[in-house]
């Protein structure tokens, strides 16, 4: 006997088959119902899901026919991917595939209620996700349902009636100047030395450190240009321009004798090894491992965390060293505007054109004063 399980799907308990009934365009524009059988419910639901996505993309679905999963995938493919960075899309898809679709995907968009969304946030909290992470889910779902409202899929955005978790102040660890000196001394002569000092002395981001190449380091002038970053998507290296115009910046390291000496030594070593083996670090990355290979950001962060633990120093992340740069600069009474510029933070009052051509004394002073505080020497 065949029993209806849900719309378009029934089960024959005698023959142990799942029946999928769907409508297709026939001759003369008439709709024709076709029924097929599948041995498993998973196969049957997959066919229904693909059908609904095809109907949605073709503009044939009524609002009541659209699953949350179908809309989220349509929203990603048609509205987000053409307009966002690959790394951003990867982060969104991770949220969708890992959490949102497994929990909400089989609901119809019109059946999604504030209560169900609030329950979803509770589920995430039980999984151990932090409030700020759950808020990212809220922002994503709010944007997706907002697009659904604009395109007539649903009448209202239910996330407007949901209370997201309270924002938590980020807990940043940072070193003072004496702790930075200890870390710098411990890292001397290791492959991690340059990464540690670029973060602590110049405030570079991890992707900026991994993407820095010798062609962007002017050893004669003592200036490096941040114009390439290296990140990873699903384990695959991805090189691109920095995330904003303000992130593209020039920083003087000539005021820091220790960093300047290190960079010159590493550059000589790279040139020497390139003569011996043309395949050694052919693209000229500044921060490389023992084999001359560029780091992936996550791998570099892990290695630095492990190194710090072995040295018995207080735990700190690579990004924490960037915060340490800002903290030491602030302790030396460097103007916050100058610190912001050195860190590559943008504001609405600073245009990309001005920032790219601006290399003023204020930014150079940030590096010099931080170097002075760390080394204890007058620059």
Instruction: Indicate whether 341 and 358 sit together in one domain.
Output: yes
Regarding whether 263 and 210 lie in a shared domain, the answer is: yes
Q: Where is pLDDT greater, at 171 or 298?
A: 298
| Other CB atoms within 10 Å distance of the CB of residue 154 | 20
Last residue of a domain, one of 35, 56, 77: 56
Res 368 pLDDT > 60:
yes
Question: Per residue, what are the HEC states of the chain?
Answer: CEEEEECCEEEECCCCEEEEEEEEECHHHCEEEEEEEECCHHHHHHHHHHHHHHHHHCCCCCHHHCEHHHHHHHHHHHHHCCCCCHHHHHHHHHHHHHHHHHHHCCCEHHHCCHHHHHHHHHHHHHCCCCHHHHHHHHHHHHHHHHHHHHCCCCCCCHHHHCCCCCCCCCCCCCCCHHHHHHHHHHHCCCCCHHHHHHHHHHCCCHHHHHHCEHHHEECCCCEEEECCEEEEECCEEEEECCCCCCCCEEEECCCCHHHHHHHHHHHHHHHHHHHHCCCCCCCCECCECCCCCECCHHHHHHHHHHHHHHHCCCCCCHHHHHHHHHHHHHHCCCCHHHHHHHHCCCCCCCCHHHHHHCCCHHHHHHHHHHHHHHHCCCC
Whether residues 349 and 217 fall in one domain: yes
Long-range contacts of 230-234 (CB under 8 A, 24+ apart): 230/285, 230/294, 230/295, 230/296, 230/297, 231/87, 231/207, 231/297, 232/296, 232/297, 232/298, 233/86, 233/87, 233/90, 234/90
Spatial separation of the C-alpha atoms in residues 182 and 203, rounded to whole Å: 17
Domain identity same for 49 and 73: no
Whether the per-residue pLDDT at 204 is higher than 60: the answer is: yes
Average confidence (pLDDT) over 137-141: 97
Same-domain pairing of 96 and 155: yes
Contact call for residues 284 and 214 (beta carbons, < 8 A)? yes
Q: For residues 19 and 162, state if they share a domain.
A: no
pLDDT of residue 238: 81
Nearest-angstrom CA–CA distance, 72 and 74: 5
- For residue 21, what are the domain limits? 1-56
Distance CA(297)–CA(9), nearest Å, equals: 47
Q: How many domains does the chain have?
A: 3
Cα end-to-end span (Å), the chain: 88
Looking at the structure, tell me whether residues 25 and 161 fall in a common domain: no
Cα–Cα distances in Å, from 377 out to 96, 123, 140, 178?
52, 54, 49, 13
Q: What distance in Å separates the CA atoms of residue 295 and residue 231, rounded to the nearest whole number? A: 9
Question: Taking 90 as the threshold, does the pLDDT of residue 86 lie above it?
Answer: no
Find the range with the poorest average confidence among 41-45, 154-158, 214-218: 41-45
Q: What is the mean pLDDT of the chain?
A: 85
**Could you tell me the CATH number of the domain that includes residue 150?**
1.10.150.130
- The last residue of one of the domains, among 152, 171, 190, is 171
Look up the CATH number of the domain holding residue 363.
Answer: 1.10.443.10
For residue range 230-257, list pLDDT tens digits in order.
Answer: 987 767 788 888 777 668 899 999 889 9
pLDDT digits (tens, 9 = 90+) for 312-322: 999 999 988 98
Q: Give the pLDDT confidence of 257-294 residue by residue, as tens digits.
A: 999 999 999 999 999 999 999 899 999 999 999 889 99
Are residues 8 and 115 both part of a single domain? no
Q: Do 51 and 71 fall into the same domain?
A: no
pLDDT reported for residue 308? 95
Is the pLDDT reported for residue 326 higher than 50?
yes
């Amino acid at each position: 006997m065949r029993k209806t399980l849900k719309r378009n799907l029934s089960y024959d308990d005698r023959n142990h088959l799942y029946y999928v009934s769907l409508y297709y365009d026939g001759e003369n524009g008439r709709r024709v119902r076709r029924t097929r059988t599948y041995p498993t419910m998973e196969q049957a639901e997959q066919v229904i899901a693909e059908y609904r996505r095809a109907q949605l993309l073709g503009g044939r679905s009524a609002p009541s026919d659209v699953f949350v999963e179908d809309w989220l995938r349509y929203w990603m493919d048609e509205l987000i991917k053409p307009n966002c960075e690959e790394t951003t899309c990867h982060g969104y898809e991770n949220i969708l595939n890992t959490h949102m679709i497994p929990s909400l995907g089989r609901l119809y968009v019109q059946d999604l209620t504030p209560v169900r969304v609030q329950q979803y946030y509770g589920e995430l909290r039980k999984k151990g996700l932090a409030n700020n992470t759950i808020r990212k889910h809220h922002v994503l779902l709010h944007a997706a349902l907002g697009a659904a409202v604009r395109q007539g899929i649903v009448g209202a955005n239910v996330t407007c009636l949901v209370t997201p978790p309270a924002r938590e102040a980020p807990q940043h660890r940072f070193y003072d100047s004496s702790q930075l000196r200890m870390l710098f001394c411990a890292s001397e002569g290791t492959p991690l030395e340059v990464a540690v000092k670029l973060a602590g002395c110049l405030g570079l981001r991890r992707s900026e450190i991994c993407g820095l190449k010798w062609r962007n380091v002017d050893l004669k002038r003592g200036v490096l240009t941040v114009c390439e970053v290296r990140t990873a998507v699903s384990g695959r290296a991805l090189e691109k321009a920095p995330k904003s115009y303000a992130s593209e910046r020039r920083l003087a390291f000539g005021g820091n004798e220790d960093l300047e000496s290190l960079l010159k030594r590493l550059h000589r070593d790279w040139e020497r090894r390139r003569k011996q083996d043309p395949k050694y670090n052919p693209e000229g990355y500044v921060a490389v491992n023992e084999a001359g290979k560029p780091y992936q950001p996550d791998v570099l962060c892990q290695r630095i965390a492990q190194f710090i633990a072995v040295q018995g120093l207080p735990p700190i992340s690579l990004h924490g060293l960037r915060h340490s740069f800002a903290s030491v600069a602030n302790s030396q009474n460097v103007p916050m505007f100058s610190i912001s510029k050195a860190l590559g933070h943008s504001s609405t009052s600073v245009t990309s054109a001005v920032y790219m051509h601006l290399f003023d004394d204020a930014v150079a002073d940030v590096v010099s004063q931080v170097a002075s505080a760390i080394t204890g020497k007058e620059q």
